[in-house]
Amino acid sequence: MKQHSPPPRLSLRGITKQYPGCLANDDVHLDIAPAEIHALLGENGAGKSTLMKVIYGLVKPDRGEVLWDGLPIEVKDPAQARKMGIGMVFQHFSLFETLTVTENIALALGDDAGALDQLAEKIRTVSEKYGMTINPEREIHTLSVGERQRVEIVRCLVQNIKLLILDEPTSVLTPQEVDSLFITLRQLASEGCSILFISHKLNEVKALCHNATVLRAGRVSGECVPAEEDTTSMAKLMVGDDTPVSTTYPKKLGSTPLLCISDLNLHSDDPFGVHLKHINLTVNAGEIVGIAGVAGNGQEELLASLSGEHLCPDGKTITFAEDAVADLPPDQRRRWGLGFVPEERLGRGAVPEMSLTENALLTGFLSGLLSKGMVAWKKAETFADQIIDQYRVKAAGRHAQADSLSGGNLQKFIIGREIMQNPKILIAAHPTWGVDIGAATAIHKALITLRDQGAAILVVSEDIDELFLISDRIGAICNGALSPVKPTPESSIQELGRMMAGDFSQSAHEGSATL
């Protein structure tokens, strides 16, 4: 440490932000030095997003100050943040689909953009320098998710950038893409840029970051040097002492096919959709099959075909225990014993304006909540209360509107609603998305219990760690095609990563084994 070390590039002092019913940030302190890669760790709902919005001028803190290169400043809006040299890569991209890469970047640069053709040249140079080739002329809607993230990063790099904030940047990438992102970030930091890396993935933080600040329930629960910690100690900082952080579940393989998909092809009408190509999959009774994949590779289309939102003319394409169902609408599939947890919580998983009781009724009506065509409200209310109770849903009660719940709590409610109906087949998309570790563990346990009762479960998720934890067999979907599905112990993160990127080839000795 030098005697006169420069002031931190960014310093947060006592940031406090109160939302109605929720203290999002409580007296948060954070320092980032030039050229430092700093991790902001925390679970969903710990206050990471709010803090980063404060830095970027999207949210005004109630108390506390922000120091930039040692001087107190007030970041009024994102435009000012950008002028100061702060760039941000959002978790949900802030790109305009109908505009080209150059136009998108020109918009963010404001008046400094200059002529578009010169900017395009600059984009090419910068993107090649950092090993993230992109074609400036392409329109955003033609790009993959990984490419879109590159556009967001390059958008920050073409300016004079001093602090780059990345919000959960790896959640949309394959493991291989993550590696190359890290190379770019290290190069950037070595040139003096500070990086704030927001994540809840401990392994990534350990691999990349110099220092870490851990948030729990809005407060700083600890600071550490990730390289010197093990993941368990960091996880404890994130979730507190009383929550178990690692569990393993015994793997099982079923033998009686319950859910069969044979040669499912689907032509998507959506211009941003993916066509499904020759999907074959069997899920046996008593096992969990996990499908990994980067968002937008056909998961949505596959799920719609399974739920019955999209019908196939040939009923035999999808069978539930030999019953052809591919041409049956959702209610008939549910009558058969299907439980379904869609990707979108508000709008498809639950009706935002309806109370929890009414939402419970929406799919629960088949399990005795109706009598002679009339709603048995008492039973529906009891059912809703049971879900709230068993899955520890934080809500103002069964009368609360679905959209008044936080994402994680609504997720718990929807999962609970489906599992408690004891489905024979359960299809769940991102079952623990946005849910804290304690609740995620509860959901995993419920899935395992359901499996042990003999249900066939298909989990589609972007969270590879989760899939390895709960799946008995695992595969990946890429660009509408499904990889071979193998028993989880025989697969590896590297292999799954290759499959997520579309390389379905088996490694050499396995290849010869099939000959």
Partner 1 sequence: MDIDLITNILYAMIRTGTPLLIVALGELVCEKSGVLNLGQEGMMLMGAVVGFIVTLLSGSLLLGFILAMVAGVLMSLIFGLITMELSANQVATGLALTIFGTGLSAFIGSEFVGKPIEGLDPVFIPVLTDLPIIGRMLFGQDLIVYLSFILFGAVYWFINYSRPGLVLKAVGENPHAANAIGLPVFKTRYLAIIFGGAMAGLAGGYLSLAYTPLWAENMSAGRGWIALALVVFASWKAERVLLGAWLFGLASILHLVFQGLGFAVSPNLLAILPYLATVVVLVILSSNQTRSRLVAPMSLGNPFHARG
Q: Which DSSP state fits 100? A: B
Query: Nearest CA to 506 among 487, 483, 476, 489?
Result: 483
**H-state helical runs in 99-163:** 101-109, 116-129, 145-157
Q: Toward partner 1, which CB reaches closer, 46 or 202?
A: 46
| CA angle, residues 317, 323, 324, in degrees to nearest 5 | 30
State how far the Cα of 348 lies from the Cα of 139, in Å rounded to an integer.
Answer: 29
Does 154 sit near partner 1 (CB under 8 A)? no
Question: Stretches 97-105, 190-198, 365-373, 438-446: which one binds partner 1 (CB under 8 A)?
Answer: 97-105
Among 38, 53, 201, 473, binds partner 1 (CB under 8 A): 53
For partner 1, the closer CB: 21 or 250: 21
Task: Please give the structure tokens belonging to residue 366.
Answer: 């088949």
Asked if 141 is part of the footprint of partner 1 (rule: CB under 8 A), the reply reads: yes
Please report whether residue 275 would count as binding partner 1 according to CB under 8 A: no
- What values do phi and psi take at 325, rounded to 5? -125, -5
Backbone angles phi, psi at 28, to 5 degrees: -90, 130
Binding segment for partner 1 (CB under 8 A), chosen from 104-112, 205-213, 237-245, 463-471, is: 104-112
58 forms part of the interface with partner 1 (CB under 8 A): yes
- How far apart are alpha carbons 63 and 18 in whole angstroms? 9
Smallest gap from Cβ 109 to partner 1, in A, equals 9
Which of 9, 48, 82, 430 touches partner 1 (CB under 8 A)? Answer: 82
Nearest to 175 by CA among 203, 197, 134, 214: 203
Q: Does 106 participate in binding partner 1 (rule CB under 8 A)?
A: yes
Q: How far is the CB of 44 from partner 1 (least distance, A)?
A: 17
Please enumerate in sequence order all residues whose Cβ is within 8 A of that of 368, keeping only pairs 6 or more positions apart, or say none: 376, 379
Which residues, in sequence order, are CB contacts of 347 under 8 Å at separation 6+? none
* Sheet bearing 257-266, strands edge to edge: 276-284, 257-266, 318-320, 323-324
* Distance of alpha carbon 471 from alpha carbon 489, whole angstroms: 10
Q: Is 158 in the site for partner 1 (CB under 8 A)?
A: no
Closest distance to partner 1 from the beta carbon of 126 (Å): 18
Among 39, 41, 52, 108, binds partner 1 (CB under 8 A): 108
Nearer to partner 1, 122 or 201 (CB): 122
CB of 327 to partner 1, least distance (A): 22
Does 493 interact with partner 1 (rule: CB under 8 A)? no
Q: Which of 270, 313, 322, 512 binds partner 1 (CB under 8 A)?
A: 270
Residue 107 interacts with partner 1 (CB under 8 A): yes or no: yes
Choosing from 46, 81, 446, 456, the residue that interacts with partner 1 (CB under 8 A) is 81
Residue of 84, 72, 75 whose CA lies nearest to 7: 72
The answer to whether residue 377 forms part of the interface with partner 1 (CB under 8 A) is no
Q: Which residues contact 194 (CB under 8 A, 6 or more apart)?
A: 9, 10, 32, 33, 34, 35, 36, 37, 38, 162, 163, 164
Selected from 5, 98, 248, 514, the binder of partner 1 by CB under 8 A is 98
Number of residues this chain uses to bind partner 1 (CB under 8 A)? 32
- Inter-residue contact 61 to 13 (CB < 8 Å): no
Q: Least distance from C-beta 62 to partner 1, angstroms?
A: 12
User: For partner 1, which is the closer residue by CB, 271 or 313?
Assistant: 271
Please report whether residue 64 would count as binding partner 1 according to CB under 8 A. Answer: no
Kindly state the smallest distance separating residue 142's Cβ from partner 1, in Å: 11
Verify binding: residue 115, partner 1, rule CB under 8 A. Answer: no
- The DSSP 8-state label assigned to residue 346 in this structure reads B
Cβ closest to partner 1, residue 423 vs residue 434: 434
Contacts of 427 (CB under 8 A, 6+ apart): 303, 306, 307, 338, 339, 340, 341, 457, 458, 460
The residue among 269 and 322 lying less far from partner 1, judged by its C-beta, is 269
Looking at residue 338, its amino acid is L
Does residue number 62 form part of the binding site for partner 1 (CB under 8 A)? no
Nearer to partner 1, 36 or 167 (CB): 167
Region near partner 1 per CB under 8 A, out of 105-113, 217-225, 427-435, 477-485: 105-113
Whose tokens are 């909540």? That residue is 369
Binding interface with partner 1 (CB under 8 A): 53, 57-60, 77-82, 88, 90, 93-99, 103, 106-108, 110-111, 113, 141, 269-272
